[in-house]
Amino acid sequence: MVKKKSSFFIALICPLLTCGHPARVNDCNKVKYGTFYFYPPKTNDEFVIIRDKHLQREIDYKTKDTTFWQLKWKNDCEFSLRFIRQSGPISDDEKAFYNAHVSVVQIAKVSKEYYVFKGGLDSIESRNAVSDTIWFKPRIK
């Protein structure tokens, strides 16, 4: 009977405590550089995101318009984006809005196939913050 209780303890508690192994750290390094794919919900939109050390390009798959953002990493899993320019037409009001704000992005989870982010205008805690998924490979059509 003692052996059964011990096995139960190990099976139940060990995963919670990682049984002596350090907790796995969210590997945000996988998302700092590279090409990523974004499919906003409830739309047919598709974007390719190309990120390097100080620049993020977001390419609208349908129109081929590209938006350029200055990229600054705050820490390993959080960065900000400041609007630079857009290749396609943009209204003066839209340009003024983009120039008045920064997008703040926090990486919540990194998996083998995607990462989950939370982002908002000027702050992660803003009223308009959203969470979504960015993929490492394009969607198969």
Query: H-helix or E-strand containing 131?
Result: strand 130-135
Query: Quick one: pLDDT at residue 125?
Result: 84
Query: Quick one: pLDDT at residue 98?
Result: 94
Please report, rounded to a whole number, the percentage of residues in the chain having pLDDT higher than 90: 71
Binned at pLDDT 50, 70 and 90, residue 82 comes out as: very high
Burial zone of 31 (CB within 10 Å; 0-12 exposed, 13-18 middle, 19+ buried): buried
Contact 60, 45 (CB under 8 A): yes
Q: Has residue 23 got a pLDDT over 60?
A: no
The total number of structural domains in the chain stands at 1
What's the average model confidence in pLDDT over 74-84? 96
Contact 73, 32 (CB under 8 A): yes
Q: Of the ranges 18-32, 101-115, 119-133, which is most confident? A: 101-115
Residue type, 132: D
DSSP code for 31: G
Contact 129, 114 (CB under 8 A): no
| Position 11 in a domain | no
| Position 129 in a domain | yes
CB contact set of 62 (below 8 Å; sequence gap of 6+)? 45, 46
Query: Quick one: pLDDT at residue 12?
Result: 38
Query: Quick one: pLDDT at residue 9?
Result: 38
| Position 9 in a domain | no
pLDDT digits 0-9 by tens, 31-59: 999 999 999 988 999 999 999 999 999 99
- Distance from C-alpha of 105 to C-alpha of 110, rounded to nearest angstrom: 14
Query: 54 lies in which domain range?
Result: 23-135
What's the average model confidence in pLDDT over 11-29? 50
